[in-house]
A and B are shown apart, each in its own frame.
Chain A
Amino acid sequence: MKAEPMRIALGHPSCPGVLRGLAAQMRALKADQPLRLTLPPVTPTLDKDVDEILRIAQAFSDVEIAANDWGTLARLSEWKKTRAPKLTLILGVLLSAQDTDPVLDTFLSPQPENAVRAGQEAVTLRWAPPPEALRQHWATPSAFHWTPLLREMGVDAVELGLQPLPLTDADGRMPIRAYPFGVLSVMPCRGNCALCGGPDAVRAGRRLFFDRNLLLWEEADQR
């Protein structure tokens, strides 16, 4: 039995520099190679790069594309409807709108009382269990209630990263593609890679690190 070729993943959720090199990488692949492309938010400056990427992608027989801004998702939706019906379209991890701050699950466990100042006022900070509605909110990506809209757009799956609270089990949610880290924030590109990123850190037991301009976290014992 012939093994299916592995899907090659190219691109980055937030770095425009990676996008600029994508077309050249794609040209080096055979058209029967299953491909996964991740596009960052595409500013007008990057439009021509995306035009070229889509032109090349049309030659591939099996392509997934994750978009990380609503405009690119809408553009790919139209492209899929008119020219690329076999495209697998994914709502990217930046758009899925999860609560991923590593501190969130620390609010679920008792903490010592603390005297603090709120502006001019001294207050006692005391642990109480968060209301169930709030806990549910932290556990539920916004993408789960966009299913009707996403289906209209021809989106096939939503990409979700790690989050501190276990993912809620919502009715009618889209298929999920797993992103291997928690996504915490994005630095705007300044056109100079030396200005991106920062030191690693540990917060609430998780290791924070940058991948280009993307601030991510993973469980501290993962490496």
Chain B
Amino acid sequence: MPLQDAGEVAVLKNHGADELYCGYLDDTLRALYGGDATLSRRQGQANVSSPEALKALALEARRAGIPVHLALNARVTAEQMPHLIRIANMWADFGGDGVILQDPELLRRLRAIPTLQFTVSLLAVTVNQSGAAFWRSLGADRIVLPRFLSPGDIRAITAAVPQLTYEAMVMGDQCLFVDGFCRSVHAENFAPAAPGETPSRVVCTYHTSGNAYHLCRDYAEPRPDPCAACLLSELADSGVSIGKLGGRGMPLEMRLRWLDFLREALRSPSPARYRESFGHDCNCYYPGREDAQ
């Protein structure tokens, strides 16, 4: 379950979250790389913004007895490596449990940190047994599988490399495209201001742009509240033991609504309950999976 600050730990746990994850973008990184999605594929308020806030979040999670992972899962270049290694070490010192990443060289450099678990992000697009074995050989503990895999494909992967833990997206953040292969700038989606409104601050164009190109929306309207509630048991039977909710940067209220719904769906998934919860017909996370490939 994604979170944005220490204050959300208790409430997310009380609503049934078993694990948490967050992003990070401090002032040093912001000065170098702007406020965009450079390190965690999420921008702005989706990220924890200072070492102090990150430490508080890790401590609060530890106090609550709930593991928390740090997403460093954007694409990486050599110049960023010292920053990422510094952040991962700081995270380990704070008592963080794991790091989510997609870069193989970053994993090779971080695996020496003994207290951290390493999760290969959805963005690495791990699609087969050899891919799972590859990441395991580099030091991965867990893999988030891409949405387009069929349950049969998932079963083949999890059976071939059972030493890893497998995770699948079950709610939020549905993209028309394959996330890990999408190179679209993920800018904040600004709306035009009303005439006469007084701006409160200045934002640089390269951080975010009201006219920024938002690829997905050129080809399909985003569908609200996508979920895999009906597939939870099928995913579990295929070897997936962790369901991931997207939505870093989304309001807490919305994330809680998703979480509450999924907890209930674990007992008895039903499109009627979905309609009741969200006010519209359900949007399946894995549409057409039965005839995929």
| B147 located at the interface, meaning its Cβ lies under 8 Å from any Cβ of chain A in the complex | yes
* Contacts known (A102-B213, A191-B292); A125 close to B205, Cβ less than 8 A: yes
Q: Which of A2-10, A25-33, A57-65, A66-74 contacts B (4 or more CB under 8 A)?
A: A66-74
Tell me how many residues of B have a C-beta within 8 Å of chain A: 78
CA A157 – CA B270 in complex, angstroms? 50
| B184 located at the interface, meaning its Cβ lies under 8 Å from any Cβ of chain A in the complex | yes
In chain B, what residue has the closest Cβ to A145? Answer: B78
Contact call A125/B203, Cβ cutoff below 8 A: yes
| B153 located at the interface, meaning its Cβ lies under 8 Å from any Cβ of chain A in the complex | yes
Contact call B190/A116, Cβ cutoff below 8 A: yes
Interface string of B125-149 (1 = CB under 8 A from A): 1111111111101000000001111
Interface string of A141-157 (1 = CB under 8 A from B): 11011101100000000
In chain A, what residue has the closest Cβ to B291? Answer: A191
Contact call B32/A133, Cβ cutoff below 8 A: yes
Interface string of A189-202 (1 = CB under 8 A from B): 11110010010010
Chain A residues whose CB sits within 8 angstroms of the CB of B79 once the complex forms: 133, 136-137, 140
Task: Give the contacting residue for A198; candidates B76, B124, B219; CB below 8 A.
Answer: B219
Which residues of A138-176 have CB atoms within 8 Å of chain B's CB atoms? 140-142, 144-146, 148-149, 170
Contact call B32/A134, Cβ cutoff below 8 A: yes
Q: How far is the CB of B135 from chain A (nearest CB, A)?
A: 7
Interface string of A114-148 (1 = CB under 8 A from B): 11111001111111101101101100111011101
Q: How far is the CB of B158 from chain A (nearest CB, A)?
A: 11
Which residues of B78-111 have CB atoms within 8 Å of chain A's CB atoms? 78-81, 103-105, 108
CA A194 – CA B148 in complex, angstroms? 17
Most chain A CB within 10 A, of B34, B135, B199, is at B199
Cross-chain pair count, CB within 8 angstroms:
228
* Contacts known (A116-B192, A122-B193, A185-B177); A45 close to B150, Cβ less than 8 A: yes
| B11 located at the interface, meaning its Cβ lies under 8 Å from any Cβ of chain A in the complex | no
| B64 located at the interface, meaning its Cβ lies under 8 Å from any Cβ of chain A in the complex | no
In chain B, what residue has the closest Cβ to A214? Answer: B181
Contact call B215/A140, Cβ cutoff below 8 A: no
Contact call A115/B192, Cβ cutoff below 8 A: yes
Which residues of B175-217 have CB atoms within 8 Å of chain A's CB atoms? 176-178, 181-185, 188, 190-194, 197-206, 208-213, 215
Known: A100-B183, A116-B192. 9 other contacts (CB 8 A): A45-B153, A70-B131, A71-B129, A71-B134, A123-B203, A136-B79, A137-B80, A188-B146, A190-B292
User: Which B residues form the contact surface with A (CB < 8 A)?
Assistant: 31-34, 36, 38, 44, 75-81, 103-105, 108, 124-135, 137, 146-150, 152-153, 156-157, 176-178, 181-185, 188, 190-194, 197-206, 208-213, 215, 218-219, 287-288, 291-293
